[in-house]
Amino acid sequence: MNTLAQMISSAFPGGPRCLCSPEDVPVTALGRRRKLWELPHAFHCALIGTCLPVPEMRRLAPHSGYDVSKMTDYSLHTVVVGYCEERSTLAEAIQRFLDKRHAQAVARFTPAKAAADVAYTWREALAAGADIPGALWAAWTHPCTDDELGREIHGDIHMLSHQVGAGVRADLRQLERHRNDAQSLRQELDALRRAVEDERRAHGGETPECGRTCPPGPALEGRCVLCVGGRSGLVEGYCKAVEQRGGRFLHHDGGQQEHLHRIDAAIANADAVVCQSSCVSHAAYWRMKEACKKLGKPCVFVQSAGVGSFARSLEALVDAPAGQVIRLTD
């Protein structure tokens, strides 16, 4: 196995060079897609960093005789970039991997017949932010890409790396703020749990009551309560409130979907009615009011469709005489 120093020395026989600017490196016209080692070497750093994931670098390098077990990601990147300048076992392995990985992107660029077509497809991908690695590989290896377009793409990738880095730093700061907020919320939740537990112990192990005056027993005593209107998602809660007070539950949606003529039969079968007037049609409202008056059924009108308001309506019905109309304001 080669040492890291030997690999870097062989990768850069002329000494270290700046890979940032490709100004002095022409793009050779070949009439076919370029191979990795046929691209300007100044492109290799951005290409490998963008298109070849670090796990794949670590997977491919040992197959070519390199010991990467003790190398940092940056050292590995440096070595791989160096060996892309000439055709080698490693460069060929990377070429095969990138062609396979980015086959769809290459297919999207294939119809381009001139540098302007390649540039248009590249800018579309850049604007969409979709599959930038694939678009970069397809654009730089396309046979129509010339010197000017190659440098333009290099500049786009260079600036994109700065923007992504800035975005990552901002995301990390925001993540830290979210972590701090979550920690504060957990502390508040723990304090509330301790307070509830202390209150429970103070009541002899019983869970403290909600603070409202609840009926001591089955206040409805088997009476049937018709709920007219309300929210469909809360019907189960209305039913539970009636049954907890020893009553039976009926429901009519107030003309939203059910026919109005069913209100008369429902009121006839009920002992009392709760009308959630904000959730019924005008026709249902007047028909229900007339039927309750005619049949002598106590009725509570309430604006809110909440379960709490419905429960207060049931409390108002406990001692309501026949035919009484009660209006609750929330």
Q: What is the pLDDT of residues 29-82, one digit of tens each?
A: 567 889 999 999 889 988 898 888 888 888 888 876 777 788 888 888 888 888
Q: Is residue 207 part of a domain?
A: no
Handedness of CA 202, 203, 204, 209 (dihedral sign): negative
Residue 265: domain span: 224-328
pLDDT of residue 11: 47
| Same domain flag for 260 and 132 | no
| Same domain flag for 140 and 265 | no
Contact criterion met (CB below 8 Å) for 53 and 77: no
| Same domain flag for 124 and 230 | no
pLDDT of residue 164: 66
Closest CA to 259 of 290, 238, 281: 281
| Same domain flag for 244 and 158 | no
Phi, psi of 252 (to 5 degrees): -135, 135
pLDDT tens profile 128-155: 877 888 888 888 899 988 888 888 888 8
**Domains in the chain: how many in total?**
2
pLDDT tens profile 258-313: 777 788 888 888 889 998 877 778 888 888 888 888 888 888 888 878 888 888 88
Q: What is the DSSP string of 63-76?
A: HTTB--TT--HHHH
| Same domain flag for 23 and 124 | yes
| Same domain flag for 24 and 149 | yes
Q: Is residue 254 part of a domain?
A: yes
| Same domain flag for 155 and 67 | yes
Q: Is residue 192 part of a domain?
A: no
* Domain boundary residue, one of 123, 141, 168: 168
